[in-house]
Structure formats: C-alpha cells, structure tokens
Structure 1
Amino acid sequence: MDIVLATHNKDKRSELSKAFNSKDVNILSLEDFPHIGEIIEDGDTLRDNAFIKAHTVYGITGLPSISDDTGLEVDALNGAPGVYSARYAGENCSYMDNVNKIIKTMSGVPLDLRTAQFKTVMAFVSNKMELVSEGSVKGLIAEEAKGIGGFGYDPVFYVSEMKKTFAEMTMEQKNKISHRGQATKNMIELLRSHQIIPNSQENA
C-alpha cells in the first residue's frame, strides 16, 4: 500500500522507509505530489502541526498520510525552541543556521545545565481512522557540532549513554534510540494492531 509522508524532507522519507522495511508498504512524499503547495504549520503544539499536515495531504491525495512534528526542548531555554525548532534561526533557515544559533545561545552554559530532550509526535490519517504516536529522548546540547550524519540538530544533540551526538551515530544506532525512531516504531505497531498494514514483514 502507498502511504504519503507529509514532507519534502528526503532524510525523513529515507528513515521512515528503512523503519517500515516492508515490500507491502511504499512510502511516498510531497516530492511525488508537486501540486501540493506549502502547508502552513500554525498549530500551538507538535500534535496540532502533525495533524494539520496529515489532514491536508490526505484531503488532497486521498491516500493514507503520515506526518510528524519534532521539537528540541532545551531546559535552560525554558523549553525553546520547541514547536519553532525548524525555524529557530528564522524563516528559510538551514540546518546549520539552527545548529549555530543553538550553540551561540548556549555559549557559557555549564554542562549540568545543558540538558534537553527531542520529542516527536506522529499522526496518521486515512479514510478509516486517525492515530497518533509519540517518542522522546533525553540528551545534552554539545558545545560544538560533531559528526556528519543525520540532519537538523543531530550534530549538537549528545546522548550520554552512547557517548556520541546523533550525527556521529549510524542510522541504525540512531533509529534504535531516537525520538523519531520511537514514534515510528509505536506508529507501526498501531498500524499493525488496527490491521492497516500486515503483521508479517518481508524485506524489500
């Protein structure tokens, strides 16, 4: 079956396809539907934004749609950037713009106060039902960017148990512990329990 991931982000599509790892599920993205314009994410919460995108894409394509919204919540910044994580450094900013801003903003903050968490809320919308899953992971904001993998804030999100930033991990390592990996795993379990996708997996 085809499921549309409500994003243009090729990294997210790749992660989700790898997580499903099934020939029965084909993950499409907004790159496959160029007529879908910009979706305004004006919700007050990650959950709001996830459902705004999923409902919009389902309404246009008629296909089951999945969307997620992710926020980096830094304790020393009272939970910021939170729902504004993707545009923390301004509209149309790059990954590294956001990374550089968080490094600068956290400059001089001692290690024990650099705690943060990544949180992902994932929404599924089809003609049959709506589902929601969540995932979160705790870590520290590194003093400098490290690693070349991943995307977003991965180079500055340090996980003590792994002694690495997300960007220093392999995709397999990251998916096992990451917020998005948890939300995806939980969503796949929900989709199976509601018999939307087969229980048995076969490698693509």
Structure 2
Amino acid sequence: MKILLASRNPKKLAELRRILVPALPDVEVLGLDDVEPYDEVPESGATFAENALIKAREGHRHTGLPTVADDSGLTVDALNGMPGVLSARWAGSHGDDEANLRLLLDQLGDVPDERLGAAFVCAVAYVDDAGEILTDGTMLGRIVRQPRGTNGFGYDPIFAPAGYERTSAELSVEEKDAISHRGQSLRALAERLVSRV
C-alpha cells in the first residue's frame, strides 16, 4: 500500500518512514516529489489541525492516494503562543529557518529566563476514501539564548525539551523521535491505521 506524505521536506519524510514503517511494514511512503505535480493550496487555517487537514485533503483529492499531512510549529509562552501556525514564515518568507530563529531570539531578548517556556505542537491529518483521522502531539520545553546542535531543523537549535539540558538539535534521531511532538502524533496515527490498512 502507498501513502502520500504531502511534503517535500526530506527530514519529515525520513521521520515519517522511521515511525510508520515499523508499525505498518507493508506501507510505502511517497513524498510530493514522487507524484504528479499539483498546485498546493495556501495554509490558510487558524490552527495546526486546520492546516494539516487542508494539505491532506488536497493531496488525496489530486492523487487518490491515502494522504498524511502535518502542520507543526513553536509556541512561546512570553509571546502569547506565537509564532504558532506562522512558525515557518515568522520572519516573512516561508522556510527561512535562520531568519525565523534570529527574529524570535531578538524578540525574546529582554524576557527573563524563567518566562522562556515553550512547546512544539504538531497536528497530523490522514485522509483516504473512508474518511479522516486527526492526531496531535506536544513537546514541552524552553527557549535557550544561543543556537546549539546540528540535528533537526527549524527552531530545534534553540529549544530544550523538558528534562533535557540539550537542545532538540543536539539529540540523536532516536531520542528526538521518542519524545517529539511529531513523533507522538505519528505514533498515534500508526496505532489508528493498523486496523485500517
């Protein structure tokens, strides 16, 4: 069975394969670069769940394949939950990780350390002919002042998960998969799909 991950991000594809394939060994995970191109709709939802559903519905509609999509981001207590759904384009252009990270650190420059609580949040949507599944995950932690580590992407170098002195970008792939927001939501999806595929 083939499942489409509505993403071109190779790190997300690798993560999805690491988590889904052991639970569903007969599933082949494809990315957007593996299917006929289609115009992707803007992520216009107000929540992570809405954006994940938009992408999963579009992928399924255009390809006919069961489709998984996620939307995830960083919520910072001192910024009233922002950047939230705007995480990937916080500094203006979509996907400029370095600019997003620098802007966030600048915005938190005068915030005391004790108010740097944050969380990574993820919603995963799955759409097939039988309907829709939505799962979510949250990884609590805090912002650190200086980027550290080279694993991961996005805000990983400035986010230390609860219980860790290391940042997400300093964790091994196995450590991160075990606790991450995306890992939680993908494992929850895998459990639901075992009886469905």
After TM superposition, is the score higher than 0.5?
A: yes
Q: Report the secondary structure of 1:36's partner residue.
A: coil
Kindly indicate whether residue 27 of structure 2 is the aligned counterpart of residue 52 of structure 1.
no
2:171 matched residue in structure 1: 169
Aligned to 1:83, what secondary structure does the other structure show?
helix
Moved more, 135-144 or 155-164: 155-164
Give the equivalent residue in structure 1 for 2:11.
11
Answer yes or no: is 1:73 the counterpart of 2:75.
Answer: yes
Runs of 4+ displaced beyond 2 Å: none
2:110 corresponds to: 108
Corresponding residue for residue 20 of structure 1: 20
State the partner residue of 1:156: 158
Distance in 2 between residues matched to 1:60 and 1:93, nearest whole Å: 24
SS at match of 1:155: helix
CA distance, structure 2, for counterparts of residue 60 and residue 152 of structure 1: 28
Q: Partner of 2:180 in structure 1?
A: 178
Q: Distance between the aligned counterparts of 2:144 and 2:39, measured in 1?
A: 36
| 2:146 aligned counterpart, secondary structure | coil
Instruction: Report deviation, 1:93.
Output: 4.3
- The letter for the 1-side match of 2:170 is E
Number of aligned residues: 195
Residue in 2 that maps onto 1:137: 139
Whole-angstrom CA distance in 2 between matches of 1:173 and 1:190: 23
Give the TM-score, by structure 2 length.
0.95
Percent of aligned positions that are identical: 39
Aligned residue among 58, 63, 66 for 1:64: 66
Q: For residue 137 of structure 1, give the secondary structure of its aligned residue in structure 2.
A: strand
Counterpart-to-counterpart distance in 2, 1:92 and 1:69 = 13
SS of match in other structure, 1:37: coil
Letter in 2 for 1:181: G
User: What SS is found at the alignment partner of 1:84?
Assistant: helix
Name the aligned partner's letter for residue 65 of structure 1.
T
- Aligned Cα root-mean-square deviation (Å): 1.2
**Which structure 1 segments of 5+ residues have no match?**
198-204
Task: Report which stretch shifted further, 88-97 or 165-174.
Answer: 88-97
The CA distance in 2 between the partners of 1:153 and 1:25, in whole Å, is 30
Offset of residue 137 of structure 1: 1.0
**Structure 2 regions of 5+ residues with no counterpart?**
none
